[in-house]
Amino acid sequence: MSTSSRFDVALRRMTSSVLSRILPDHSKRQILFASLAACRANADKTRFNKATLHKLNRLMVLSEHEDPLQLPIRLSKVIWSGEKGDIILWSMTQDTEPPEIAADKVISMIPDWLKYSNLKGMREDLIKLIAEQRQIYAAS
């Protein structure tokens, strides 16, 4: 492994550790669902617009105001990059797979710094998002 690769890995680990400690659970939840929803829209070549954001926020009760959700939406490609993003998006878009199984796959791919609360609560939130995704992405 080259020196720059080792540095990149060390920097990512340090950043992950810091974010994991300083971000409150409600912020992790906002980042997780806003970025996941934006990636899902990108995978379907759908524009993630204000109406989509409003439906997501109404369903998941992420924030009193929707403006704070813009940053994780814009960073979604960074957060869910590479193969990890492809696997997550594939899991969320499978109609033949029960939401519970898809949620477990997604949980296994979530970066540690974005995991919040207890596993049960995060799993229930993911099941809700996956089960209701058609409602979020339906044309307005």
Confirm whether 18 is domain-assigned.
no
Largest CA distance in the chain: 50
Confirm whether 97 is domain-assigned.
yes
If you average pLDDT over every residue of the chain, what do you get? 83
Predicted TM-score (pTM) of the model is 0.83
Q: What is the pLDDT of residues 99-137, one digit of tens each?
A: 888 888 888 888 889 998 788 999 999 999 988 888 887
Confirm whether 9 is domain-assigned.
no
pLDDT at residue 74 above 80? yes
Confirm whether 100 is domain-assigned.
yes
Number of domains within the chain = 1
104: containing domain: 25-137
Query: What integer pLDDT is reported at residue 38 of this predicted model?
Result: 85
Band the pLDDT of 67: cuts 50, 70, 90: very high
Instruction: Report in angstroms the alpha-carbon separations of 109 from 46, 65, 84, 97, 121.
Output: 23, 28, 6, 17, 16
Q: Looking up tokens 């979604």, which residue turns up?
A: 76
d(CA 80, CA 45): 16
Confirm whether 111 is domain-assigned.
yes
